[in-house]
Chains A and B, each alone.
Chain A
Amino acid sequence: MLETRMSPVSTPPRSVSRAAAPRPALTVPSHTRESAARALPSARPVERRTGRSRMPRSEARLLAFAIAGTALMCAVLVVYLAAYAHVSQLGLEQTRARAQLRQARQENELLQAQRALLQSPARIIAAAQKLGMTTGAQRVTYIDARDTAARTADGGSGDGQNFQGTNGGTSADGDAAAAFHH
């Protein structure tokens, strides 16, 4: 075996079969043997290569499949985990959005209630009275077409179609609002 290791450097890996074949014995000097022994570590890769080369092709394929399958599974797992994390994130965002919606609805309801309370006639009247306001005459004022001086209905003038409010704006019968002052 040692002899076969003496000249391995130039030997291609496929010479495995040749190595198994009988060869004539070589006489090697002792110093050369020592140097060969020193050179032994450099010969190890050749031995490894020789070992791998022994694995059958089908096994190697199986191994490759196994490695690829594991890698694929890992990839799928990573994708699944990423997707699950994404879904969880979306779920959290949805929950947060729902909470915000709920809060906004509550605030809206609260504001509606406050608005309704503020629009209460009793409150408005009380506030107006506090500010010194009093109820108006609640009657219609007419304008005589010839005389622009405003007269109240008991003045007996006007045709009932042409009237104005206290703001001085005249209007035809279409805009009755201008005729009223509260």
Chain B
Amino acid sequence: MIAGLYFLLAGRLVYLQAARHAYFQKEAENYRVSHHLLPAMRGQILDRNGNVLAMDDTSAWAIYADPLEVGDAAGTAQALAPLLGLDPARLQALLTPRSSKNHYASLKRHVDDAIGRRVKALNLQGIGVIPDTRRLYPNGPLAAQVLGFTNSDGDGIEGVERSQDDQLRGQDGLVVAEVDRKGRFIPGTERPGHTPQNGRDLVLTLDKTLQNVADTELARAVRDHHARNGVAIVLDPRTGEILALSNAPGYDPNAPRPAGRLDAARAAALEARRRDHAVADLYEPGSTLKTITASAVLQEQGLGMMDKYVYCSPTLQIGRHAIHEAADALTKNLGSQNLRGVLRVSSNVGMAQFGLGLGADRLYKYEQKFGFLDKPGSGLPGEQKSWLQSPDEFNRFTESTGWAKIQLANISFGQGISVTPLQLAAAYAAIANGGTLMRPHILHAVRDSDRETPVAPEPVRRVVTPEVAAKVRSMLGTVVQGGTGQPAQIAGYSVGGKTGSAQVAGAHGYESGHFVASFVGLYPLSHPRLVIMCAVFEPQGIHWGASVAAPVVHNIAKAAMLALHVPPDAPEEVDWDDHLKERYRSQWDARHRMARRT
């Protein structure tokens, strides 16, 4: 019998040691060895001068509760609610256990260091405080639509955070080591795990100073003109680098979503504020597109076209349709104008005649060559492209192939075609740099630990010859010198540019009283360093590009020339502000003299 018992015991031992060896080894391993996840840091986003635009803040705290451990849910909720900024009733509901397995309820994440410490000091039963990481945008709303934001788990949701998420996101590390009774690692027992790989830092092409100026000036214009929204872009035409890209109204990416529930209207308004209208919204550019048509005319028909004059009557009848000059030009006799004159006075009728002479195929070719039919590929999410139909395709409205004559005339002066503000700025940059379309881009370099990989400028294609580009630039200079673009003049620098005041197309044709006021300027015109574009959507009251958008470009350009230390090239040039002062002074003097006489 004793032998039998020994036999049973031996059998049990064999069973435990041999048959269930793996199980017990695993159990022992679990008890003694701990796997600790080391979260990787998300890469920083910097401007071209190394200023931090977005970074991880590790000083934050996460507050959580074990509802089964919380004794007094009501009392705990009352104590925590003012600190966490939460509704006490909602908090109490979170603290009340829903089941016997309800051991975890997240109360609030990304809490400030001071508040986290205060919650810790309360020493509430069942309430835990653990370190947390949050994304910090130290400049608040600066370039918010470009940067975007992340969700609470650190995933990119909008902007560069979204489009470059793969580069910014790191790879979490793992530490495997034996732990003591209190769960602390025993030194020397670490096993090979893997170290966390932090995400790559992104150096953007943005310049914080210029971005701030653009944000400030654009926000002021949108506010002053009670506009729906606005866009401003500062582009380096030599490289295609986006130095500033501003949207107004903006938002603070540190708090992209206000607390509480949003109704549909507020959610839509919030969505519109987060949207990068510069790349994601198509609009009819109006007169700013006349520059493209003029470039196409000179490139296709030769520089001799500068000697061709057309008569700019107030209206031009094309079949059943009539093309009108802009309202302020209707009362004036624009007379005969060559291409330079047509641009200077921004004549729709004049440009329509040049466009008709060029033909649909050739105009379409240049819309394509200037990049309106392709997504710019800037590295920003949500890019759009023009949906202009080729003249070769069947047109279901005219029930024939090719563009209708009125369509060709309209497209010549920027109606009936939609572009994004970034596409238009890039097209002007091609004219500014001598005729090469450069890919506009937002990434300047990628930093991986100590190594920095620069992003090379990418020429897309040659669009026009340097001679044609120079001629178009000189015409743009005329527009600012004596045409509609005078408010863009700044002291000491030659300036070129073009205004645009386009009607907004709706579901049933153009909407009355809805305009897009825009201006694109080249600074300095003799050797352009910057292309500055501004579009203000649906300003109330005055809606001319010269009155609404050109002053924004003027103010940005003044600050930019100083910030970038661009040497002045035209000392005789007078600032438009001084023109205005002089004009007001002479008007005031005249009125004063009249008053004295009477």
Contact = CB atoms under 8 A, between A and B. Distances in A.
Interface stretch (A13-21, A33-41, A150-158): A150-158
B51 A153 contact: no
List the 3 closest A-B pairs by CB distance, nearest first: A91-B187, A116-B138, A91-B188
Interface stretch (B65-73, B480-488, B557-565): B557-565
Interface string B124-146: 00000000000010111110000
Contacts of A94: 187
A138 B491 CA distance: 10
B566 interface: yes
A15 to B, nearest CB: 60
A139 B187 contact: no
B571 A116 contact: no
Contact of B136 (A116, A157, A177): A116
Contacts of A159: 571
6 contacts: A110-B59, A115-B52, A142-B571, A154-B574, A179-B568, A180-B562
Of the listed residues B140, B567, B574, the one surrounded by the most CB atoms of chain A closer than 10 A to its CB is B567
Kindly state the interface size class of chain B when it binds its partner: 35 or more
Interface string B541-581: 00000000000000000110110011111111111001000
Interface stretch (A2-10, A60-68, A117-125): A117-125
A95 B185 contact: yes
A66 to B, nearest CB: 35
A94 to B, nearest CB: 7
Nearest to A182: B562
Contact of B571 (A117, A156, A182): A156
Given A116-B138, A154-B575, A159-B571, 13 more contacts: A88-B187, A110-B58, A115-B52, A116-B52, A116-B55, A121-B139, A138-B558, A139-B491, A153-B575, A160-B492, A163-B568, A176-B565, A176-B566
A122 B573 contact: no
Contacts of B188: 87-88, 90-91
A47 interface: no
A112 interface: yes
Interface of A: 87-88, 90-92, 94-95, 106, 109-110, 112-113, 115-117, 119-122, 138-140, 142, 152-154, 156-161, 163, 173, 176-177, 179-180, 182
B55 A160 contact: no
Nearest to B558: A138
B541 to A, nearest CB: 26
B299 to A, nearest CB: 32
B569 A117 contact: no
B135 to A, nearest CB: 11
B209 interface: yes
A121 B568 contact: no
A119 to B, nearest CB: 6
B172 interface: no
A87 B187 CA distance: 9
B569 A122 contact: no
A120 B562 contact: no
B212 interface: yes
Interface of B: 51-52, 55-59, 136, 138-142, 185, 187-188, 208-209, 212, 490-492, 558-559, 561-562, 565-575, 578
A92 B567 contact: no
B142 A121 contact: yes
A113 B568 contact: no
A138 B559 contact: yes
Nearest to A155: B571
B558 A158 contact: no
A92 B187 CA distance: 6
Nearest to B56: A109
A120 B187 contact: no
B139 A180 contact: no
Nearest to B574: A154
A154 B558 CA distance: 14
A112 B491 contact: no
B571 A113 contact: no
A119 B47 CA distance: 13
A121 B598 CA distance: 53
Nearest to B564: A176
Given A116-B138, A122-B142, A140 B187 contact: no
B98 to A, nearest CB: 36
A109 B56 CA distance: 8
A177 B571 contact: no
A109 to B, nearest CB: 5
A122 B139 contact: yes
Nearest to A175: B565
Contact of B575 (A91, A112, A139, A157): A139
B568 A140 contact: yes
Contact of A176 (B139, B558, B567, B571): B567
Contacts of A92: 187
B138 A120 contact: yes
B385 to A, nearest CB: 33
Contact of A113 (B57, B209, B491): B57
A90 B187 CA distance: 9
Contacts of B142: 120-122
A156 B572 contact: yes
Contacts of B562: 138, 140, 180, 182
Contacts of A95: 185, 187
A160 B568 contact: yes
A120 B139 contact: yes
Most-contacted residue by chain B among A94, A120, A153, A180 (CB, 10 A): A153
A107 to B, nearest CB: 10
